[in-house]
Amino acid sequence: MHAYDAAEQVDNTIRLNANESPRRSTIGNFRRPLNRYPEVRPQKLQTALANRFGCRADQLLVTRGSSEAIDLVIRTFCRAGEDGVLVTSPSFSMYRHYAEVQGADLIEVETLAEHDFAIDVDAILAACKDSTRLIFICSPNNPTGTVLARDELERLLTERGDASAIVVDEAYIEFGDKPSVTELLGRYTNLLVLRTLSKALGFAGARCGAVAGPPEIVRILSAVQAPYALATPVVECVEDALQDDQLALAEAAVLDTVAERERLVVALANYDFVVKIWPSDANFLLVRFTDAATVMRRCEVQNVLLRHFGGALDDCLRISVGSPDENDQLLRALDTLKGTNNG
């Protein structure tokens, strides 16, 4: 695959090669003119994000959220009706969604519920078929908060070798104390790492994420991605978000979230209708209740929305860690269930 042959963009030239409007709008306060197409791939942003994520610029493709990276990777690696994707369960449902969109085969491997939903690398290796091109590992895992140990990941990378790429989704990495596995990029040619600005950096609305991997794979993913994928307002917003002062604010917000997460763990443990709170390296907690449906409904009535998944997690709810006020509101909603025999 070759990159789309876009109109040349050269500074200080008269651009009559891209059918753009010559009229510069006064809407918005952007550094770059909105009547011009953005860069096909935003170079400055790519370098800044590569620095942040611990890889080289040629090992990174900036995407519209990591959601787009999931879609791109599956479309690039899987021929419809022939190749397949392996996911663990329970995990983030978007891997399954995009595998279905592509018509890729899907293998689901249960995590070990009795061991805090640990990822079972032996079971994954046993379940792989010759056609399994991608293995998605979400670490910390959404919605269980579980992390895959580094040596287990390396076992998976080594055992699958050229047969499958291992896609490690690190959407929540900043909320734990483990380093990113981008450190391993130089050692494994079948490792891809997904990162996002939607969680720790607080820019879900900007839709910006990235996939890191070997340069030759990144080049192909880039050829598959839409030209001009990142809009000028997004590029400028994220460039600003990556300035030192903004990063310091984001880092403080992560520390606040972690402190609130630990406060919630202590507070939740006091309710007799809370059965189990799983350890979490993310910005959410998975909690088992004696009656999850009642808790969910009562919170909803009190204007607090929680997430229910069903299946193996039918009696559980995922609670995102909010601001101190929002978390207090959650606890007040739960207080109304005290002594109601809802369990």
Ligand X SMILES: Cc1ncc(COP(=O)(O)O)c(C=O)c1O
- Name the site residues for ligand X (rule: CB under 6 A): 65-67, 92, 138, 142, 169, 171, 196, 198, 204, 209
C-alpha–C-alpha distance, residues 90 and 56, integer Å:
32
Cβ–Cβ under 8 Å, residues 286 and 140: no
Cβ–Cβ under 8 Å, residues 258 and 279: no
Measured from the CB of residue 321, what is the shortest distance to ligand X in angstroms? Answer: 14
Closer Cβ to ligand X, 46 or 198, answer by number: 198
Count CB neighbours of 5 within 10 A: 8
Q: Tokens 């490792």 correspond to what residue?
A: 191
Closer Cβ to ligand X, 152 or 169, answer by number: 169
C-alpha–C-alpha distance, residues 124 and 87, integer Å:
9
Measured from the CB of residue 34, what is the shortest distance to ligand X in angstroms? Answer: 24
Closer Cβ to ligand X, 121 or 171, answer by number: 171
Q: Is 223 helix (H, G, I), strand (E, B) or coil?
A: helix
Measured from the CB of residue 320, what is the shortest distance to ligand X in angstroms? Answer: 10
Measured from the CB of residue 65, what is the shortest distance to ligand X in angstroms? Answer: 3
Cβ–Cβ under 8 Å, residues 225 and 198: no
Closer Cβ to ligand X, 282 or 292, answer by number: 282
Closer Cβ to ligand X, 66 or 257, answer by number: 66
Measured from the CB of residue 338, what is the shortest distance to ligand X in angstroms? Answer: 31
Closer Cβ to ligand X, 67 or 180, answer by number: 67
C-alpha–C-alpha distance, residues 322 and 319, integer Å:
9
Measured from the CB of residue 343, what is the shortest distance to ligand X in angstroms? Answer: 29
Q: Which CA distances in Å does 221 have to 29, 100, 187, 249?
A: 32, 19, 20, 32
What contacts 57, CB < 8 A, 6 or more positions away?
Answer: 43, 46, 47, 50
C-alpha–C-alpha distance, residues 46 and 36, integer Å:
20
Enter the tokens of residue 47: 């370098």
Closer Cβ to ligand X, 160 or 195, answer by number: 195
* Nearest residue (beta carbon) to ligand X: 65
C-alpha–C-alpha distance, residues 156 and 158, integer Å:
5
Measured from the CB of residue 239, what is the shortest distance to ligand X in angstroms? Answer: 18
Enclosing H/E stretch for 86: strand 84-89
Enter the tokens of residue 297: 């409904």
